[in-house]
């Protein structure tokens, strides 16, 4: 209740957002079948998830391969620079 001198105004709070989230699937328009995301290499061959690694591009045909352990590594004290495996694309 808000009061302005002799006038009292009733006030209530209403939540402006919903707590539930909504997600959508991508479908083919003609038959509503779900769209799949296949991982395909440059030569057109499908690549299973077990053969996929993360890499940072150094030059046109050179990458540094980065593992999940490398990304979670946090040095204590002095930085500890470790050699990374280099590979050609």
Cα 84 to its chain centre, rounded Å, is 24
The answer to whether the beta carbons of residues 81 and 73 sit under 8 Å apart is no
Q: Where are the beta strands (DSSP E) in 1-89?
A: 2-4, 7-9, 54-59, 62-66, 86-88
**Higher model confidence: residue 14 or residue 77?**
14
Per-residue pLDDT of 2-56, as tens digits, reads: 788 888 888 888 777 766 787 888 888 999 999 988 899 989 999 998 999 999 8
d(CA 52, CA 45): 13
State CA 18 to chain mean position distance. 23
Confidence (pLDDT) at 89 = 58
Q: In whole angstroms, what is the distance from residue 85 CA to residue 89 CA?
A: 13
* Statement: the pTM of the whole predicted model exceeds 0.75: no
Q: Which of 56, 65, 71 lies closest to 86, judged by CA?
A: 65
Rounded to an integer, what distance in angstroms lies between the CA atom of residue 20 and that of residue 39?
31
């Amino acid at each position: 209740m808000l009061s302005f001198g002799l006038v009292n105004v009733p006030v209530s709070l209403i939540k402006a957002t919903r707590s539930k989230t909504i997600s959508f699937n991508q479908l083919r328009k003609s038959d509503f079948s779900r769209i799949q995301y296949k991982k395909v290499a440059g030569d057109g061959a499908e690549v299973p998830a077990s053969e996929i690694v993360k890499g940072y591009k150094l030059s046109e045909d050179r990458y540094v391969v980065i593992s999940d352990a490398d990304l979670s590594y946090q040095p204590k004290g002095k930085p500890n620079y470790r050699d990374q495996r280099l590979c050609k694309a």
